[in-house]
């Protein structure tokens, strides 16, 4: 497949690039500081921001766009407009855990103990998910990690869920960035959550 990854130089974005390449896909890595000199037959770099007027045309023809851009860096209006202009049919978003429910109708980000340092990004992610749910013209998927998204190992062993926060037998909610990338690329290859949010955790 031809997969474009926005925010490709970040912690999650770089792991998505690595996972996609390991599966034999052709990847277009988009980041503000992308190095086109590192291009290969399988990997092409584009140095651009979301608002770059030429980016949509350069993304045209891809099978999927995966966005790993922080929600406070680019809102839904700019990103959804980019996807629409590109004509790419599938749009997958690296979501956050804050919008996951810990009880019916109660999001993690709205609890008193939610870390203040992450609240702005989490609320922006919650709003982004709401915008996607109102975008009837897009084939989108929003993958929320567990509460802790950390550097770790690629095990390929994890659980998938829907809108509820996943917690393991010890009360911990976590997933490695490497296994998160596995779950995202599984979804790219075999769509099972079109126009839905789902989550991944141990």
Domain count across the chain: 1
CA 152 to chain centre: 18
Q: pLDDT value at position 37? A: 80
pLDDT digits (tens, 9 = 90+) for 123-160: 999 999 999 999 999 999 999 999 999 999 999 999 99
Q: Name the helix (H) or strand (E) containing 197.
A: strand 196-201
Q: pLDDT value at position 38? A: 85
Q: Is the pLDDT of residue 36 over 90?
A: no
Output the average pLDDT for the chain: 96
b/e map 94-131, b = 16+ CB within 10 Å: bbbbbbbeeeeeebbbbeeebeeeeeebbbbbbebbee
- Average of per-residue pLDDT across 98-116: 94
The CATH number of the domain where 77 resides is what?
3.40.50.720
Reported confidence tier of residue 86, pLDDT bands at 50, 70, 90: very high
**Comparing 140 with 36, which gets the higher pLDDT?**
140
- Average of per-residue pLDDT across 97-108: 95
Q: pLDDT value at position 161? A: 98
Q: Is the pLDDT of residue 60 over 90?
A: yes
Q: pLDDT value at position 106? A: 94
Residues spanned by the domain of 43 = 2-201
């Amino acid at each position: 497949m031809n997969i474009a990854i926005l925010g490709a130089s970040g912690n999650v974005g770089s792991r998505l690039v690595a996972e996609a390449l390991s599966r034999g896909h052709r990847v277009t890595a988009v980041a503000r500081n992308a190095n086109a000199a590192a291009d290969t037959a399988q990997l092409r770099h584009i140095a651009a921001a979301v608002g770059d007027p030429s980016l949509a045309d350069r993304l045209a023809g891809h099978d999927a766009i995966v966005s790993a851009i922080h929600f406070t860096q680019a809102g839904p209006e700019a990103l959804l407009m980019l996807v629409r202009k590109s004509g790419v049919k599938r749009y997958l978003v690296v979501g956050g855990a804050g919008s996951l429910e810990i009880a019916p109708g109660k999001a993690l980000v709205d609890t008193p103990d939610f870390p203040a340092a992450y609240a702005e990004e989490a609320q922006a992610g919650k709003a982004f998910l709401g915008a996607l749910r109102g975008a009837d013209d897009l084939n989108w998927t929003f993958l929320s990690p567990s509460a802790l998204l950390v550097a770790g190992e690629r095990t390929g062993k994890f659980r998938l869920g829907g809108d509820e926060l996943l917690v393991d037998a010890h009360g911990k909610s976590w997933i490695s960035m490497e296994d998160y990338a596995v779950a995202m690329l599984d979804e790219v290859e075999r769509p099972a959550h079109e126009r839905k949010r789902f989550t991944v955790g141990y």
